Structure 1
Amino acid sequence: MHTVIVYESMYGNTRQVAQAIAEGVREAAPDAQVDCLTVSEATADATRSADLLVVGGPTHMHGMSSGLSRRLAHGTQAQKSARESGALAATAEPDESPGLRAWFHGLPDTESGTHAAAFDTRADFRLSGGAAEGIARRLSHHHYDVLAEPEGFIVEDTEGPLRAGELDRARTWGAGLL
């Protein structure tokens, strides 16, 4: 079995969840080949051979990140780094890597029977929204069979950290996908 996990991460929280999901898959199926890739690494060829495609990203502005929300998040991150280092925030360059929305445009359709799952990282407050539902919808549009309800993993603040126990929950969720 070949599992490909594709993720977008701004502050590292979604990356941590993706890696924990990969660990869960490996625990459940030690013989499985598991690739955990950023959206910039996840080419059409990399995903084409997957028996299970798991896709996740951060929740921005109630849903999947967009170019605007990524620029805003980068600005917040650059300002924080500048405050901590004493440098000017204007010296930071924006992150030019593709987001999930752009990545989905290049995702080839698959044959029925190829499984997928969607996850996100999100804040735990009313009306915070979630990206996982939009990710699952896009996977379905590319003819993937979404085999689990979209899952959200909680971050304590905009930039994290993840809530205690979320990485364990991600490992368990990943193992349960098999």
Structure 2
Amino acid sequence: MRAVIVYESVFGNTREVAEEIAAGIHDVRSDAVVRCVPVADADTEVTRPADLLVVGGPTHMRGMSSGLSRKLAGMPGMAVGAKDEGTLEAHHADTEGPGLRAWFHSLPDAENGTHAAAFDTRGPTEHGKGAAGGIARRLSHHHYDVMAEPEGFVVDGIDGPLHPGERRRARSWGAALV
């Protein structure tokens, strides 16, 4: 089995969820080849060989991030938890490059039998309104077989951390995808 997890992460929380999903897949299928890659590195050569494509991103304004929301998130002072210069530099690097919306424009249609799943990170008050639904719809439009309901993982505050128990839940969700 070959799985690719593509993520967009602004504050690092979505990346952490993606890594836990990858670990969950490995828990069930230790022989699986799992790649966990940021959206900027997820070209056709990375995604085409996947039997399972899992895509996730942060929720901005109840949906997928946009160029404007990514720029706003990258502005100095928005990374509340970034206390040192190195963390701020890493944060700003994550907001550069394409977001998921732009990436979907270059995603080729899937071959028959390619499964997919969608997830997001969201604030605790965004019940049912997150980026994962839009991600799942775009995967379907590209002829992926979306095999699970879109899933949201809760982040405390604007920049995190992940709510207690969400890492464990992400790992379990990844295992259930297999």
On whether the aligned pair clears a TM of 0.5, the verdict is yes
Partner of 1:157: 157
Contact 1:54–1:116 (CA under 8 A) maintained in structure 2: yes
Unaligned stretches of 5+ residues in structure 1: none
Look up the equivalent residue of 2:56 and give its one-letter code.
G
Partner of 2:102: 102
Contact 2:8–2:56 (CA under 8 A) maintained in structure 1: yes
Partner of 1:62: 62
Partner of 1:122: 122
Partner of 2:40: 40
Deviation at 1:93, TM superposition (A): 6.8
For residues 139 and 126 of structure 1, the distance between their equivalents in structure 2, rounded to whole angstroms, comes to 22
Within a 5 Å distance, the mapping from 1:132-171 to structure 2 comes to 132-171=132-171
What do residues 118-149 of structure 1 show as CA deviations (whole Å, max 9, x unaligned)? 00000111568200000000000000000000
Residue 177 (structure 2) pairs with residue 177 (structure 1): yes
Does 95-104 or 27-36 show the bigger shift?
A: 95-104
Contact 1:6–1:36 (CA under 8 A) maintained in structure 2: yes
For residues 143 and 114 of structure 1, the distance between their equivalents in structure 2, rounded to whole angstroms, comes to 8
What do residues 50-106 of structure 1 show as CA deviations (whole Å, max 9, x unaligned)? 00000000000110000010011111xx225699569xx9xx978421100011011
Q: Structure 1 residues 93 and 45, CA, compared in 2 at 3 Å: closer, same or farther?
A: closer
Residue correspondences, number: 172
For residues 60 and 6 of structure 2, the distance between their equivalents in structure 1, rounded to whole angstroms, comes to 17
CA RMSD of aligned residues (A): 2.2
Partner of 1:20: 20
Look up the equivalent residue of 1:169 and give its one-letter code.
R
Unaligned stretches of 5+ residues in structure 2: none
Look up the equivalent residue of 1:12 and give its one-letter code.
G
Contact 2:6–2:56 (CA under 8 A) maintained in structure 1: yes
TM-score (norm 1): 0.90
For residues 56 and 153 of structure 2, the distance between their equivalents in structure 1, rounded to whole angstroms, comes to 10
